């Protein structure tokens, strides 16, 4: 399963920190940001991705995140 999110992340250091944190939340998942995309995409490819959990995790750190259709 692949889940794609639109975010407001614009800093590579922040993106790397969040990838690290999300790896603990979703062990074994492949997680990446595309900060060059206008929607600053976050992609998570894994067996089970709980979108609400991702959105909540980023929100707790002061970032916006929403699922892209």
pLDDT value at residue 69:
81
* Mean per-residue pLDDT over the chain, rounded: 96
CB-CB contact of 9 with 22 (8 Å): no
Chain centroid to Cα 7, Å, comes to 8
- Across the range 52-62, mean pLDDT stands at 96
CATH numbers and ranges of domains, the chain = 2-67 (3.30.70.100)
pLDDT band for 52, please (50, 70, 90 cuts).
Answer: very high
Instruction: Provide the greatest CA pair distance for the chain.
Output: 28
Question: What per-residue confidence (pLDDT) applies to 49?
Answer: 87
User: What is the mean pLDDT of the segment spanning 35-55?
Assistant: 95
Across the range 15-25, mean pLDDT stands at 97
Q: How far apart (Å, rounded) are the C-alpha atoms in residues 52 and 29?
A: 16
- Its pTM stands at 0.93
């Amino acid at each position: 399963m692949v889940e794609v999110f639109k975010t407001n992340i614009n800093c590579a250091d922040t993106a790397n920190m969040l990838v690290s944190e999300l790896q603990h939340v979703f062990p074994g998942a492949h997680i990446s940001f595309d900060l060059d995309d206008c929607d600053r995409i976050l992609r998570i490819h894994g067996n089970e991705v709980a979108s609400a959990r991702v959105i909540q995790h980023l929100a707790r750190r002061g970032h916006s995140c929403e699922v892209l259709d």
